[in-house]
Amino acid sequence: MCRFLHWGFGTAVAVVCAALTSLGCSSSGGSVGGMGGSTGGFAAGGAAGHVSGGSGGAAGGVAGRAAGGAAGGQGGTSGSRGGSTGSGGSAGSGGSAGSGGNAAVGGRAGAGGRAGAGGASGTSGRGGSAGTGQSDAGVGTDAANLPGTNNPVLSGLNADPQIALFDNTYYLYPTTDGFANWQSTSFSVFSSTNLVQWTSRGVILDVPKDLTWATGHAWAPSIARVGATYYFYFCADQQIGVATGSSPMGPFKDALGHPLVTTSQFGTQSIDPNVFIDDNGTPYLSFGSGSSGLRLVKLNADMISFTGTPTNISPSGASGTIEGSVLFKRNGTYYLQWSEGDTRTANYQVAYARAQAPTGPFTRLGVILQEDATLGILATGGNTVLAIPGRDETYMIYHRFKIPGGDGTHREVCIDRMYFNSDGTIVPVKPTLPGLQTAVIP
């Protein structure tokens, strides 16, 4: 979030060396895929895709293959991306006259929807009638292939994405972009069941309305769930706050009535909070931006307070503005990612370090996400990381300049696959224009 703010007290230069590189001179603040449980089950987002698709999106109801007859043909049109909510698609005509094939099953849920109920049994080889789906925007994820240009994943201008996975649904919590000097005033959430197609769930925290201590500069949020409560950490007017709610889709209410961390309270810019919950249930909050680096503090059990002074975890070998820290753990090793440079410049990038403890010491190992000017992809940063539970499968969620014509306040959110070498080092992520081409079911 290295933001050069032109407001009351003057120009603020921020740099946040972020564990999962958040963002650059604007609101940075990615974080490891939302801590769903003690280890931070990575969350994920919304339902149907933002791209409008074919008219009969078979939402959940198996407009996938209706199994009527021996060679039951395709039951209904397969859910086209982001199509209007379909009622499962029309029944497919079966193949050879089977004896009333099996009932058409309701396929996997369309992006964001629940699986549709299976249709009635087919007669004489006709596939049963399509099940009635309950998706948000009909896309049958039965068809795992979702070809197309899937980056950016969210409609509109957004940055500093925080991803989380709660109860088999992905959620994205970004900074709303498109304002001069990053003067956004609210936070919104998006949800998905396949990581490709997302649905906006609306505003979850309105800064001037819901807070008494800030009016704007709503940046780089992070979220975790402990028990039945969701804890939403955020920046507002260069201070860090925390709000609570009973749903990942809000609404969230200010938990303290005052900032958790005040402006420059611990020697670094008080922005880009990132919450990380270790395997043993210990919660940590990292934050910071600028040449003064990153800070990490252990949260108390109530998740809305801490004791003592945050530790400086800035990695050796890093220089200049660092921000948007992200901390996560893989195979017993702690990874810290952060964004380097100014979010308004094309060479804004993500670097990382590793350590055997969440407090480090960390040493910069190299850049893992950077611009690809040949594709028009610039200023890649403000990232967060999603690890699919039970699988060695990881994704990086980040922002870039809007294509075309973007800049440091006109950015968009993208997702690409992230890989590790056999020794645990990270293979540099290649930013792409197509993005993910297959559904990723939790």
Closest CA to 223 of 429, 13, 36: 36
Q: How far apart are CA 242 and CA 225, in angstroms?
A: 13
pLDDT tens column, 392-417: 999 999 999 999 999 999 999 999 99
Q: Are residues 286 and 274 in contact, defined by beta-carbon separation less than 8 angstroms?
A: yes
Active site residues: 160, 323
pLDDT tens column, 193-248: 999 999 999 999 999 999 999 999 999 999 999 999 999 999 999 999 999 999 99
Q: What is the mean pLDDT of each run of 10 residues along the chain (442 residues)?
A: 41 32 38 41 33 33 33 34 37 37 36 38 37 35 75 98 98 98 97 98 98 98 98 98 98 98 98 98 98 97 97 97 98 98 98 98 98 98 97 98 98 98 98 98 96
Domains of the chain: 59-136 (no CATH), 158-427 (2.115.10.20)
CA atoms within 13 A on the CB side of 35: 35
Give every strand in the sheet of 363-369, ordered side by side: 289-290, 322-330, 333-340, 349-355, 363-369
Q: How far apart are CA 322 and CA 216, in angstroms?
A: 23
Residue 322 has a pLDDT of 98
Average pLDDT, the chain: 78
Q: How far apart are CA 99 and CA 419, in angstroms?
A: 48
Q: How far apart are CA 361 and CA 380, in angstroms?
A: 26
Q: Which pTM was predicted?
A: 0.72
400 alpha-carbon distance from chain centroid: 14
Question: What count of other Cβ atoms lies within 10 Å of the Cβ of residue 16?
Answer: 42
